[in-house]
Structure 1
Amino acid sequence: MELTQMLGIKYPIFQGAMAQIALSPLVGAVSNAGGLGIIGSGSFSAERLREEIQRTKDITDKPFAVNLMLMMDNIPELIDVLIEEGIKIVTTGAGNPAPYMEKLKAHGIIVIPVVPSVKIAKKMEALGVDAIVAEGTEAGGHVGETTTMALLPQVTSAVSIPVVGAGGIGDGRGIAAAFALGAQGVQVGTRFLTTVECPTHDNFKQAVLDADDTSTTVTGRSIGGPVRSIKNKMIDEYIKLEKNNASRDELEKLSLGSLRKAVYEGNMDEGSVMAGQICGMCNKLTTVEDMITSMFDEAQVVMTKLGQYRIKEKIGN
């Protein structure tokens, strides 16, 4: 089944489940515009998740999903809330959904894990998930090692279920490229940071608007938790500590609460401004609807042009 038919959405675009950002104002706007809005439930209690689901229902009657960070201790409680609230689409990260698959599928819930490698993608297909998000290292936040351009065609060749491409996609050309590599859809995070409906501090949005292609870097590889963010004073200090072989405790002390500082307080020096390498293309504040429709309009133009392109003529054969 095609991805859009499976999910009941107009455009094959997922909004990334960005921690402390993927909340009802953004999620509802994305779903209303024809995409799949996704609530980021990381750090949520069961009651907090229920409140966010209900707030989203007040904004949209279209399908939306919830992302589960499987490293959390209260996943069984969160799943109970999803079932009670009638949520039918779940994306997963930071762990294996195997312990929860039977219960999720028994309630007709579509399960879509985010994966960084072919090996994990194949394991997820064998587990019985419905689709996969293959995310490259260009993405913001927690990342793997393989680039989207290398990862996506390998994953789409390795599995038979629908694949969604993620990481480094910020316009219609990126969507067309993902389709060319075998994806049925895309997941976008960073580009949504510069939308009117995104519930972040204006300073955070401006930092993304001001960024260029070299503005991000990855920290945390030394402790097995790589994260891509826009460079600032806190990130510079973090890198110095890593070079000096600082302990996990020292690094976590520096970064504790840093995402909240950036998202809600607008502290661009001590906050963690998570964003992907595509942020250099995010140079205009738009509404979610304008962003999604313009991206797919551009993608259609690109794919039409490619359909008229003759490679042999270009190389003289």
Structure 2
Amino acid sequence: MSITRLLGIKYPIFQGAMAQIALAPLVGAVSNAGGLGIIASGGLSANQLREEIRKTREITDKPFAVNLMLMMPNIPELIDVVIEEDVKIVTTGAGTPAPYMETFKNHQILVIPVVPSVKIAKKMETLGADAIVAEGTEAGGHVGETTTMALLPQVVDAVSIPVIGAGGIADGRGIAAAFALGAQGVQIGTRFLTTIECPTHPNFKQAVIDANDTSTTVTGRSLGGPVRSIKNEMIKAYLELENKKASREELEQLSLGSLRKAVHEGNVEQGSVMAGQIAGLCNKITTAEEMITTMFQEAQHVLDRMASLSLVEKEWI
């Protein structure tokens, strides 16, 4: 079954679950536009998640999902809210959904883990995942080490469930490329940062618009939790501390509250502006609907053009 039919959506596009950003205004807009809006529950209390779910339903009557960061200590309470509010799709990360899979299945909840490797993708299929998001290191926020170009076709070959490509996709060409590699859909985060409905400070959006292909870097490798962000004063100081083998406590003290500073206060020098390597293509503010429809028109154009190409000279065949 195609991912669009499985989830009841028009376009095979997931909106990335960006912490403190992927909330009702953006999620509802994406779902209304025909994609799958995803609420980021990381950092939310059970009551806050319930409020975001209800706010989203005030905006849209289309399907949407909740992302569950499984390392969060209040995950059991968040799952209770998902069940009580009758959300039928969850994406997962930062841990295994194994302890909760039976509960999800008992409540007819579709489970779609985000994975950075073939090994984990195969484990998720064995657990009963309904689809997989294979996310390359080009993505913003928490990342793995393998690029999307290398990861995606290997995951597609390794599992029999639908695979969604993520990391480094921001236009129709990227969508077409993901489909060429075997994906049934795409997950996009960074491009949604430059939508009107994205509830971030204008300075945050401008930082993404001003970014180019070399504007991001990865911190946190020494802690085992690499994160991709746009370079700024805080990131520079963090990397200097990492190079000096600073303790976890020193590094965490420097980055404490940094996402809030950037997202809500607009402090894009001392805050964490998480974004992917594709930020250089995100240079225009649009509505979520315009973004989605334009990208899929572009993707269809690319695929149509490719269908007419011959990669081998006929006289050589």
Report TM bin, short chain.
over 0.9
After superposition, the CA RMSD in angstroms is 0.9
In structure 2, what is the Cα distance between the partners aligned to 1:254 and 1:75? 27
Aligned mates of 2:195, 2:252 — CA distance in 1: 30
Q: Offset at 1:316?
A: 5.7
Match of 1:102 in 2: 102
Identity of aligned residues (%): 78
2: distance between equivalents of 1:253 and 1:315? 66
Q: Distance in 2 between matches of 1:232 and 1:147?
A: 24
Task: For 2:159 and 2:315, locate their aligned partners in 1 and report how far apart those are by CA, in whole Å.
Answer: 33
* Residue of structure 1 equivalent to 2:267: 267
Q: State the match for 2:146 in structure 1.
A: 146
Q: Deviations over 1:10-46 (max 9, x none)?
A: 0000000000000000000000000000000001111
1:6 and 2:9 matched: no
Q: C-alpha offsets along residues 105-131 of structure 1, whole Å, 9 cap, x if unaligned?
A: 100000000000000000000000100
- Corresponding position of 2:134: 134
Q: Which residue of 2 aligns with 1:155?
A: 155
Supply the distance in 1 between the matched residues of 2:154 and 2:269 (Cα, whole angstroms). 39
2:184 corresponds to which residue?
Answer: 184
| Structure 1 residue 314, shift from structure 2 partner | 8.5
Alpha carbons of 1:233 and 1:51: their partners in 2 closer, same or farther (altered >3 Å)? same
**Whole-angstrom CA distance in 1 between matches of 2:315 and 2:23:** 49
Whole-angstrom distance in 1 between the partners of 2:267 and 2:257: 11
State the one-letter code of the partner of 1:230: I
1:204 Cα shift?
0.2
Is 1:210–2:210 an aligned residue pair? yes
CA distance in 2, matches of 1:314, 1:58: 57
**Distance (Å, rounded) in 2 between the aligned partners of 1:154 and 1:309:** 25
Q: Determine the structure 1 residue equivalent to 2:26.
A: 26
Residue 207 of structure 1 aligns to a residue whose secondary structure is helix
| Separation in structure 1 between the aligned mates of residue 206 and residue 60 of structure 2, nearest angstrom | 28
The one-letter amino acid paired with 2:103 is K
Q: What's the TM-score, normalizing by structure 2?
A: 0.99
Match of 2:43 in 1: 43
Give the whole-Å Cα distance in 1 for the aligned partners of 2:206 and 2:313. Answer: 45
Q: Which residue of 1 aligns with 2:278?
A: 278
Distance (whole Å) between structure 2 residues aligned to residue 180 and residue 93 of structure 1: 25
Report the residue type matching 1:155 in the other structure.
V
2:65 counterpart of 1:79: no
Which amino acid in structure 2 is aligned with residue 107 of structure 1?
A: H
Equivalents in 2 of 1:288, 1:47: separation in Å?
27
Aligned length: 317
- Segments of 5+ residues of structure 2 without an aligned counterpart are none
Residues of 2 paired with 1:182 and 1:56: CA distance? 31
Deviation, structure 1 residue 242: 0.5
d(CA) in 1 for partners of 2:199 and 2:44? 17
Shift of residue 295, structure 1, vs aligned partner: 0.2
Q: Which amino acid aligns with 1:258?
A: S
User: TM-score, normalised on structure 1?
Assistant: 0.99
C-alpha distance in structure 1 between counterparts of 2:313 and 2:29, whole Å? 45
Question: Post-superposition shift, 1:75?
Answer: 1.0
Partner of 2:313: 313
Identify the residue that residue 220 of structure 2 maps to in structure 1: 220
Gaps of 5+ in 1: none
